[in-house]
Chains A and B, each alone.
Chain A
Amino acid sequence: MLALRNVSAGYGSFQALFDVSLDVNAGETVAVIGPNGAGKTTLLRVISRLIDVTAGELSMEGKSLGQVPAYEVIGHGIAHVPENRRLFPRLSVEDNLRMGAFLPAAREKYAERLARVYDLFPRMQERRSQPAGTLSGGEQQMCAIGRALMSGPKLLLLDEPSAGLAPVVVQSIFEVVKTMSAEGYTVLIVEQNIRQVLKVADRAYLLETGRIKSSGPSEELLGSDEIKRAYLGL
């Protein structure tokens, strides 16, 4: 579905990604793990075209995204839940969700998808007229995921959904990810919480200083000495 071939990218003269190749197949949940500053967020921003690809190929369902402006990426079925959720703090929860359905094709299905999101996150329905800035961290994450689902995406990009949340809440966010993959959503998730994310992902890539260090099925990576030693402290 999503394919990156030897992608390099960066900010100005600073190169953040080197020669990254990565695939996400329909129906899969794929994780990108790695330490702070490895380029995980950059990777998602490249896929959303918020950052230019300086070398290599980026494509979705066989169509190149290399020249597509950022605001057209969502029209290709890619919805991005950005780092730190980035809700519109003074808009109500429902207005935030409405923004997710901004594209004409999504507007037609607004009512149906809104009902679906409220079904998935009943808490959002309770708080629908409350400004999003007044929600708790976990609720904000649910609202941000809901906003992305309003576009009816084929591929969901999640950037550190567990960051800054209390442990109990982290648990519930990973439950949400699990539910979504069970419902057939294709998910690319970036996380520092390696142990948790490998439990919900089918496959994972390990990203270090902008390069893919290793990849494979989640159980395999969980069992590898490299991961155990460097990231799980075993």
Chain B
Amino acid sequence: MQIFDVFLLEAIVNGILLGGILALLALGLNLIFGVIDVVWICYAELIMIGMYAVYYLHNVYAWPLWLAFPACIAVVAVLGAVMHQLVIKPVLSAEPINQLLVTGGVLFLLQGVATLAFGVEFKNLGISLPTLQVGEMYLSFARLIAFVVALAGMIAVYVFLKRTYLGTAIRAISQDRSIMPLMGVNPNRIFLFTSALGGGLAGLAGCLLVLQYDIHPAIGLTFGPIIFLVCVLGGLGNMIGGFVAAFIFAQFISVGGYFFHLEWGYVIAFLFFIAVMFWRPQGLFGARS
């Protein structure tokens, strides 16, 4: 009986750790959607690029990790801004379905480019972080780091949005885009900045995930659908909702996987998602109106 409880506790703790990283992933997508009103279907592919950036800088060019990580964040932030300028800006006033398709096109483009440039074989940093023993539980140190850094990143974004003029403008523009010029705000600059910030968060996520996963061109598909589901579950564009939904979703995956089988955790989480969509199509916490 004693052993049983410890494994359950371990699953719950692992769920919390997973929730932290899912919340970080959802934040970037929600931020971009909230401000620009376009869902970046290719968001997880930015994370994939970030993971490759760390791998090449660290393992091929021998940069130390403390330098490769910030460089990765910067690279993906720039990629986010480029994504807005080249892909989103021309379709800003287009039908939502067209905007969705365009970002879907970027998903396949990035996957294709990654396959050509980096090959299909799995790569990893070759670093194995220790496993931590807490009482009778065994926890992955990489997951613990990911959780703490993701949380710190989200707090930093929260403080930025609440305390600065630019952050206030980002919150304001999602509520009334057309009067922003009357405040002296150039909407396109806010869009560019938000895209870079969303990209930077994807870069940060890439740094954290590369410590846990092998890198391959289709790794984005591992996270992409889950990020999207978490955002919809919390109410698309609702950052607080996405944060809470990430932890709920992660518990379903982790504890569901404990009671049945690892893969069943995902099935149960998706079933929960579908049930919520019948009950509250706008998400648990309501979408941005």
Q: Which of B7-15, B103-111, B178-186 contacts A (4 or more CB under 8 A)?
A: B178-186
Chain A residues contacting B168 (CB-CB under 8 Å) are 91, 95, 98-99
Q: How far apart are B246's CB and chain A's nearest CB, in angstroms?
A: 22
Q: How far apart are B289's CB and chain A's nearest CB, in angstroms?
A: 9
Q: What is the interface size of chain A, counting residues whose CB is below 8 A from a CB of the partner?
A: 30
A151 touches B184 (CB 8 A): yes
B171 touches A102 (CB 8 A): no
User: Given the complex of chains A and B, what is the CA–CA distance between A234 and B194 in angstroms?
Assistant: 57
Chain A residues contacting B187 (CB-CB under 8 Å) are 71
Known interface pairs A95-B171, A95-B172; A71-B186 also in contact (CB < 8 Å): yes
A80 beta carbon closer than 8 Å to chain B: yes
Look across to chain A and name the residue whose beta carbon is closest to the beta carbon of B181: A70
Chain A residues contacting B180 (CB-CB under 8 Å) are 71
A50 touches B181 (CB 8 A): yes
Give the contacting residue for B172; candidates A73, A88, A101; CB below 8 A. A88
B175 touches A69 (CB 8 A): no
Main secondary structure of the interface of B (DSSP, over half): helix
B165 beta carbon closer than 8 Å to chain A: yes
B175 touches A82 (CB 8 A): no
Chain A residues contacting B5 (CB-CB under 8 Å) are none
Look across to chain A and name the residue whose beta carbon is closest to the beta carbon of B182: A80
Binary contact track B141-165/A, C-beta < 8 Å → 1, others 0: 0000000000000000000000001
B169 beta carbon closer than 8 Å to chain A: yes
B184 touches A102 (CB 8 A): yes
A72 beta carbon closer than 8 Å to chain B: yes
B121 beta carbon closer than 8 Å to chain A: no
A5 beta carbon closer than 8 Å to chain B: no
A88 touches B175 (CB 8 A): yes
Give the contacting residue for A91; candidates B165, B175, B178, B181; CB below 8 A. B175
Chain A residues contacting B175 (CB-CB under 8 Å) are 88-91
B165 touches A71 (CB 8 A): no
Binary contact track A84-95/B, C-beta < 8 Å → 1, others 0: 001011110001
A103 beta carbon closer than 8 Å to chain B: yes
User: Given the complex of chains A and B, what is the CA–CA distance between A89 and B172 in angstroms?
Assistant: 9
B184 touches A86 (CB 8 A): no
A74 beta carbon closer than 8 Å to chain B: yes
A75 beta carbon closer than 8 Å to chain B: yes
B181 touches A71 (CB 8 A): yes
B165 touches A86 (CB 8 A): no
User: Given the complex of chains A and B, what is the CA–CA distance between A215 and B172 in angstroms?
Assistant: 39
A74 touches B172 (CB 8 A): no
A98 touches B165 (CB 8 A): yes
B182 touches A82 (CB 8 A): yes
A107 beta carbon closer than 8 Å to chain B: yes
A103 touches B184 (CB 8 A): yes
Q: How far apart are A102's CB and chain B's nearest CB, in angstroms?
A: 5
Chain A residues contacting B136 (CB-CB under 8 Å) are none
A100 beta carbon closer than 8 Å to chain B: yes
User: Given the complex of chains A and B, what is the CA–CA distance between A224 and B172 in angstroms?
Assistant: 45
User: Given the complex of chains A and B, what is the CA–CA distance between A34 and B172 in angstroms?
Assistant: 33
A72 touches B184 (CB 8 A): yes
User: Given the complex of chains A and B, what is the CA–CA distance between A79 and B184 in angstroms?
Assistant: 9
Q: How far apart are A171's CB and chain B's nearest CB, in angstroms?
A: 27
Give the contacting residue for B176; candidates A70, A80, A86, A103; CB below 8 A. A86
Chain B residues contacting A218 (CB-CB under 8 Å) are none
Look across to chain B and name the residue whose beta carbon is closest to the beta carbon of A45: B182
Chain A residues contacting B165 (CB-CB under 8 Å) are 98, 101-102, 107
Look across to chain B and name the residue whose beta carbon is closest to the beta carbon of A133: B175
User: Given the complex of chains A and B, what is the CA–CA distance between A96 and B169 in angstroms?
Assistant: 10
A8 beta carbon closer than 8 Å to chain B: no
Q: How far apart are B285's CB and chain A's nearest CB, in angstroms?
A: 13
Q: How far apart are B248's CB and chain A's nearest CB, in angstroms?
A: 23
Q: How far apart are B229's CB and chain A's nearest CB, in angstroms?
A: 25
Chain B residues contacting A89 (CB-CB under 8 Å) are 175
A48 beta carbon closer than 8 Å to chain B: yes
Q: How far apart are A97's CB and chain B's nearest CB, in angstroms?
A: 10
Question: CB within 8 Å of A: which residues of B?
Answer: 165, 168-169, 171-172, 175-176, 178-187
Task: Name 28 A/B residue pairs within 8 A (Cβ), A-sorted.
Answer: A48-B181, A48-B182, A49-B181, A69-B181, A69-B186, A70-B182, A71-B180, A71-B187, A72-B184, A73-B181, A73-B182, A74-B182, A74-B184, A79-B182, A82-B179, A82-B182, A88-B171, A88-B176, A90-B175, A91-B171, A91-B175, A95-B168, A95-B172, A96-B172, A99-B168, A99-B169, A102-B183, A107-B165
A-B pairs with the 4 shortest C-beta distances? A70-B181, A71-B181, A74-B184, A103-B184
11 more A-B residue pairs beyond the given contacts A74-B182, A88-B171, A107-B165, with a C-beta to C-beta distance below 8 A: A69-B181, A70-B181, A70-B182, A71-B183, A88-B175, A96-B172, A98-B165, A99-B168, A99-B185, A102-B184, A151-B184
